[in-house]
Amino acid sequence: MRLVAKPTEQEIIEGPQAVSFQIANGNARQRCILQTDLPTQALAHKYLLTNWPVIERRAREALATGVLDDGQIKLAMV
């Protein structure tokens, strides 16, 4: 059984972690940010990969409705 990485001092200071990713938008790419309440980047990335189908669907829905913040799609943890 793997041990979960403990947050570094930097991550504790920064607080909850965000993960960025891109989705295809025709011939272009759309930047997306997923804000989590997880303490480490490793856990946030694992959450993104584990829940990718739901997160991608939500990002595409936001793209279709034009919900952009500073040209990015911003999502919160599900």
- Among 77, 57, 76, 69, CA closest to 31: 69
Q: Which residue has the higher pLDDT, 68 or 14?
A: 68
The more confident residue out of 37 and 3 is: 37
Q: What is the average pLDDT score of the chain?
A: 88
> What are the percentages of helix, strand and coil residues in the chain, rounded to 5?
40, 30, 35
Q: pTM for the whole thing?
A: 0.80
Calculate the alpha carbon distances from 30 to 8, 15, 20, 40, 69 in Å. Answer: 30, 26, 11, 24, 12
- Per the CB < 8 A criterion, the answer to whether 67 and 58 are in contact is no
For residue 1, pLDDT beyond 70: no
The token pair at 27 is 């011939």
